């Protein structure tokens, strides 16, 4: 499926210039249709739907696993990126006297779980950026044989910086450390192959670049790490329950990531998410990445030419879809743009940036509309 065909599936693009997929992607017509169908079944055929609950979970796991180069049984559906990041930390063995390495842009849910017992006594090391980049040599310097894990974002939300995961994984492996990755701003925008990149745990919400719903997210864990220690939580669907057995007989977790499914799935969220994963699959991850990088590159370049300070690196391998540009008053620009039917984001007050997030359904004309409106704003 070509980008223009993908665009035709998003009704919002007939009304607005939507450039905020790093917050929440808009709904596509296949997703609207799937939710309508689910609502119909919920209304008139709920008993039948109830019998097929797990089909939705399995479909989503399969599609997502394929997208990231994982096996289906290494993927669990969770409810947020943060939930997946917490699970990854819980599955990380505690080594006394160890440390964990972050970078200064690691997302809070990649950091806070390490501040809870029993891991709160680990030394926390933060690698700072230099010239807008988290340098690999600085990560290498922070990591030693006592490092349990490196916990970072693939693409950072405030800067749009993309880390070289294969290189970080090499550093981690040299010291027996695990690599925990927040993929909320990368999965669905740039190509990911967890095996090739050497990622141990990956967590990503569905509602951003994966074109799905809030309340649905995906956890990936390498198979040997999933099964190495008992799961931190247990529920009915997470257990192997041979016919005739009773819970009193004991808890045997299911093999693979199915052990992390604790109860009833988020059916509405999954119904809205599966079509998004199908669209990305049909577009193909290399085409999606090429398109997203072309647009984020075009946007960054045009802003630089206008004299703005763009935090997002110009090199394509160092960015994804997020473009962050420093503005005097980002919320004011965001408000102006919203009135002009252009959706961008100003939430990162700590670095005074406006964010422009082009996805596969955007085109260079959308960037041109944003730039023309920006020129208008500056001329006021």
Contacts of 188 (CB under 8 A, 6+ apart): 67, 204, 208, 209, 210, 211, 276, 280, 288
Q: Which two tokens stand for residue 365?
A: 């004309």
Q: Residue 180 CB, nearest distance to ligand PLP (Å)?
A: 12
Residues 55-74 touching ligand PLP, rule: CB under 6 A, are: none
Q: Is 160 in the site for ligand PLP (CB under 6 A)?
A: no
Exposed e or buried b for every residue in 109-124, given b needs 16+ CB within 10 A? bbbebbeeeebeebee
Question: In the complex with ligand PLP, which residue's Cβ is closer, 10 or 107?
Answer: 107
Return the number of the residue (69 or 215) whose C-beta is nearest ligand PLP.
215
List the one residue out of 304, 321, 301, 306 whose CA is nearest residue 362: 321
Binders of ligand PLP in range 173-202 (CB under 6 A): 182, 184-185
158 or 237: CB nearest ligand PLP: 158
- 205 binding ligand PLP? (CB under 6 A): yes
Contact 203, 84 (CB under 8 A): yes
Using CB under 6 A, which residues numbered 116 to 155 contact ligand PLP? 153
- Identify each DSSP E strand in the chain by its residue range: 17-18, 75-78, 99-103, 123-127, 147-153, 178-182, 201-205, 217-221, 323-326, 342-343, 353-356
Report the 10 Å Cβ neighbour count for 150.
29
Query: Applying CB under 6 A, what is the total number of residues that bind ligand PLP?
Result: 12
Q: Which of 21, 28, 81, 273 binds ligand PLP (CB under 6 A)?
A: 81
- Give phi and psi for 124, each to the nearest 5: -105, 120
**Least distance (Å) from ligand PLP to the CB of residue 232?**
18
Query: Using the rule CB under 6 A, is 219 a contact of ligand PLP?
Result: no
Select from 55-63, 80-88, 238-246, 271-279 the region that touches ligand PLP (CB under 6 A).
80-88
Binding to ligand PLP (CB under 6 A) within 2-61 occurs at: none
Q: Supply φ then ψ for residue 319, to 5 degrees.
A: -145, 175
d(CA 116, CA 97): 16
| Token pair for 157 | 């939300």
Instruction: Indicate the residue among 185 and 312 with the shorter CB distance to ligand PLP.
Output: 185
State in angstroms the smallest separation of the CB of 265 from ligand PLP.
Answer: 16
Output 81 or 163, the one with its CB closest to ligand PLP: 81
* Closest CA relative to residue 98, chosen from 89, 107, 87, 109: 89
Query: Which 252-311 positions form the footprint of ligand PLP (CB under 6 A)?
Result: none
Nearer to ligand PLP, 147 or 185 (CB): 185
Site residues, ligand PLP (CB under 6 A): 80-82, 107, 109, 153, 157, 182, 184-185, 205, 217
């Amino acid at each position: 499926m070509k980008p223009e065909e993908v665009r035709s599936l998003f009704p919002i693009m007939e009304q607005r210039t939507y450039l905020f997929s790093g917050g929440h992607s808009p709904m596509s017509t296949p997703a609207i249709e799937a939710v309508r169908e689910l609502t119909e079944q919920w209304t008139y055929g709920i008993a039948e739907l109830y019998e097929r609950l797990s089909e939705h979970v399995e479909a989503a796991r399969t599609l997502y696993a394929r997208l990231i180069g994982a096996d289906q049984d290494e993927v669990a559906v969770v409810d947020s990126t943060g939930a997946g990041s917490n699970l990854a930390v819980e599955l990380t063995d505690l080594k006394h006297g160890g440390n964990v390495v972050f970078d200064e842009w690691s997302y809070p849910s990649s950091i806070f779980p390490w501040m809870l017992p029993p891991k709160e006594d680990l030394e926390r090391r933060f690698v700072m950026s230099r010239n807008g980049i988290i340098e690999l040599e600085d990560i290498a310097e922070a990591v030693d044989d006592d490092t349990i894990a490196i916990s970072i974002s693939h693409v950072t939300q405030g800067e749009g910086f993309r880390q070289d995961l294969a290189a970080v994984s090499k550093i981690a492996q040299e010291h027996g450390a695990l690599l925990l990755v927040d993929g909320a701003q990368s999965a669905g925008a740039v190509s990911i192959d967890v095996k090739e990149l050497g990622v141990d745990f990956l967590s990503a919400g569905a509602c951003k670049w994966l074109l799905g719903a809030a309340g649905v997210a995906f956890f990936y864990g390498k198979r040997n790490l999933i099964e190495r220690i008992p799961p931190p939580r247990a529920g009915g669907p997470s257990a192997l329950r041979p016919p005739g057995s009773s819970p009193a007989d004991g808890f045997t977790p299911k093999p693979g990531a199915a052990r992390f499914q604790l109860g009833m799935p988020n059916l509405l969220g999954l119904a809205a998410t599966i079509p998004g994963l199908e669209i990305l699959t049909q577009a193909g991850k290399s085409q999606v990445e090429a398109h997203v990088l072309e647009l984020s590159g075009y946007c960054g370049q045009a802003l630089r030419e206008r004299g703005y300070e763009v935090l997002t690196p110009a090199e394509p391998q160092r960015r994804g879809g997020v473009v962050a540009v420093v503005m005097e008053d980002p919320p004011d620009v965001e408000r102006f743009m919203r009135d002009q039917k252009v959706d961008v984001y100003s939430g990162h007050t700590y670095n005074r940036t406006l964010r422009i997030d082009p996805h596969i359904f955007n085109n260079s004309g959308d960037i041109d509309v944003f730039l023309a409106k920006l020129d208008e704003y500056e001329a006021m």
